[in-house]
Every structure is written in structure tokens, then in C-alpha cells.
Amino acid sequence: MSHHDNIIFQARPGGRLQGRVRVPGDKSISHRAIMLGALAEGTTTVTGFLEGEDSLATLQAFRDMGVDIDGPDAGRVVIHGVGMRGLRAPSAPLDLGNSGTAMRLMCGLLAGQGFDTTLVGDASLSSRPMKRVTDPLAQMGAVIDTTAGGTAPLRITGGKPLHGIDYRLPVASAQIKSCILLAGLYAEGRTCVTEPAPTRDHTERMLAGFGYRVERDGAIVCVEGGGSLRACDIDVPADISSAAFFMVGASIAEGSDITLEHVGINPTRTGIIEILRQMGADIEILDQTEVGGEPVADIRVRSSRLHGIEIPEALVPLAIDEFPVLFVAAACAEGTTVLRGAEELRVKESDRIQVMADGLAALGVDATATPDGMVIRGGRAYAGGRIDSHGDHRIAMAFAIAALRAGGDITIDDCANVNTSFPNFLELAGMAGLAVSQVAS
């Protein structure tokens, strides 16, 4: 599907969410499984792979660099690894579509290769800041050209020897941390990253799963260059960021009782659960187990009366992708919800602070954007209306969920990119009880 189609969602008011739902596989883990599986020695089998446009772009990029990959077939992918030095120069720029994760992580991996590569993306990705990864990589010896504004296309010069660095992250970002650690696999000596606050640790867990030694000491994580990866099998759990839409929906829609199956509950990703619980949500964690080094559980959510809170800043990095739908929860909660310390939201697929504030205001919600967050005075009835999602998949899905409590239809423009992370959103949402459909393209 072209990203230029204006796909429009129409969400009708009311309804409740019920039953058992398994949302698609975790996007962060799907990306990393392809990358590390490609660089491993031996054959890696991935199940539960997210067949969304973002992860498929990563898969295609490694095919373009000579890696033999079978699938995906119903979430099953078989990667025939080429080893740390087995990638080949692609014949054209690698197009990563809308995926900031793919672009930032691959920047680190490709800085250590012996060939030149160019990374490109769609209009949204081409406007997102990349100096946050190219600057530390330059300190390691990499040569990467960006546009004058520090954005893609990124031209990576191969054959440059890298050396380890000690890097203190200026912002809490798993993408920057992962980029530097992946470059560190190719660097001489030791590469260490210090985090200002915990961020998702899928890269570290997966490196260990592939047999690569990762050292962690508090906020510092280190790798030594020159090792190798051994193929392993990966079961990708359901994505908590996709489950978040149903968690909020069930919390705000009276009579809801939904169980989300086999969801990854990595402690660096569970901010959504903690924030909703602080707002009064009824969330139960069931059948907890561990799959491939990642904790997994079923999550049961029943409707409850939510109240506004000051969101603890320590939880912000642990819920950074879930704020669009958390803002919807805040609009339905009694009292005022305040978010601070989330300036990172302004450089996502859209400026998620401004776009959500504008959209909520269009529905009659009292929402005020601040430089690093939002103040939402919730609990009042809000109307239907027309929303511009600015091509941001999480904004589009958040406003579909808002219809559960709206006074009229919510029409959402520019929804094509929902396919980047949640290709069967309309179907699953419909089965669970949300009245949302595609009305035009």
C-alpha cells in the first residue's frame, strides 16, 4: 500500500471491549531478530514476527545485503545468517519506509561494514533527527553524511575502523543506546553507554540470547568488540504498545472485560500498566512466563472509573510510545492529568504532543500542550469530530479508541501508516467490540 493513499477511519461512538485478543508481535523485537539473525552464524527461526511495513522494511534491507531469508509465513521467518562480516553491498539505497528504529539501529551496524550504504525513508522519517546517532558514531570513527538539517538520507562510508567509546546519552533513548552498542560489536576495545533513565533493553537481552557477552552495571551497559553471534530461535511476544490501545479502551468503556494474550511485559516497557493502575485501572497480570529471555503474560483489563494524576517522570521513558492513547485515558478520567519530561514525543512520527492536543481540542477536550508534555482536564463529555492523524499510526489508533466515549462519530484522516505497526487493527478492534471501519482511500 502506498503511504500516499488517504486512508480514512470512521469510529462510531459507544461499545465495549470483550473477549480474548492477541495483538501482533512486538515491533522492537521483530526488528532486532532480523538484524542479529542476519549477522549470526547458523540458522535463526523467528515465530510471532510482526508482518507490518516497518519490520518488513528491515527484512528487505537485509535481503538486499545478500542475506537469505524465508518467509514471513504466518509470522514465521527463517534467517540464514551470514556472520558478522558476511553482509554484501546493496545495489541501491536501503529504503526503511517509516521506521526510525530500523534507520537508527542499522546506522550503527552499517558503520562497521566494509562497504558504503545509503539509508532513505519516507517523508516522515526523512524529517526526524539523526544527528543523535551520527554524532556518537563519528566519535567512534564512523563517517556518515546527513542533510544540512541532520536528517536522512544517511550516507555511510564503509571500511572505517571503529574504536570503543564511553558515551553518556543526552536523552533516554533505546534507539540511540542500541545503535552505539551495535556499532560497538565492530569497534576495537570496549563500548559503554550510560543511560539517564532506564529504556527498553531488548537489544541487550537479544545479544545475550545470541551468545554475545553484555555487561550491565546500574545505568551503564558495555560490549567488547570482535565477538560473534550464534543463531538461536526467537518467539516474538505480542507488542505491549499495540495492546495499550485495548487496555485503555477496556478501562474507559463501561462493561468491558478483555484479556490480551501472550503480551511482552519487559520491565522497561510496562510504564503503560503502572500509569493506568495509578489512574485507577483494573489490570490483572495472568500466567506469567519467560520466552527467549523476555517476560510474557496475559493481561486482563476490566472497565473502571479513572482519575487524573501527575504522571511520574520516572515512568515516561517506560511508556514513551503509549502516550497518544494515554492522553485519551486522561480525557476520560475525572480531574486533571499532567505529563512532564516527555519532550521526546515531539520528534516521533509526528509531534505527538501538539497533534494530540489539537485532536483532543477538536473533540471538545480541555487539553493544553506544554513544551515537554500536556495538561488534560478530563471527565467531561466530549463530542465527535474530524481528526488529522498526520500520518502517525499511534495517533490514528488512539482516536479510534476515543470513540468508545465520544458523543458522535470520529473521522480520522491519513491512516495508511497504521500498517507499519498493527496491520490487522481494524479487524481485531471490530472483533473486540469497537465500531471502526475504513471509509475511503
> Domain locations in the chain?
8-25+237-440, 27-235
Residues annotated as catalytic are 321
Q: Which CATH superfamily is domain 8-25+237-440 in?
A: Enolpyruvate transferase domain (3.65.10.10)
Q: How many whole angstroms separate alpha carbon 399 and alpha carbon 8?
A: 12
Block mean pLDDT (10 aa), the chain, length 441: 71 97 95 97 97 95 98 97 98 95 97 98 93 97 97 97 97 94 98 94 94 96 98 95 97 98 95 98 96 91 98 94 97 98 87 96 98 96 96 96 98 92 94 93 62
- Count other C-beta atoms under 10 Å from residue 288's C-beta: 10
Q: What pLDDT does residue 292 have? A: 77
Q: What pLDDT does residue 92 have? A: 98
Q: For the chain, what is the radius of gyration of the CA atoms? A: 21
- Count other C-beta atoms under 10 Å from residue 280's C-beta: 15
Q: How many whole angstroms separate alpha carbon 334 and alpha carbon 377?
A: 8
All 3 cell numbers of residue 402?
476515543
Name residue, grid cell 473533540. 363
Q: What pLDDT does residue 441 have? A: 62
All 3 cell numbers of residue 22?
492477541
Of 49, 148, 156, 140, nearest to 107 by C-alpha is: 156
Q: What pLDDT does residue 151 have? A: 96
Q: How many whole angstroms separate alpha carbon 422 and alpha carbon 325?
A: 14
Instruction: Judge if 8-25+237-440 and 27-235 fold alike in CATH terms.
Output: yes
Q: Beta strand 257-264 with 18-21: parallel, antiparallel or unpaired?
A: parallel
Second-level CATH architecture of 27-235 = Alpha-beta prism (3.65)
438 CB contacts (<8 Å, ≥6 apart)?
Answer: 7, 8, 9, 10, 415, 426
Name residue, grid cell 512520527. 349
Contact 176, 207 (CB under 8 A): no
Contact 240, 270 (CB under 8 A): yes
- Count other C-beta atoms under 10 Å from residue 419's C-beta: 21
Of 84, 380, 111, nearest to 227 by C-alpha is: 84
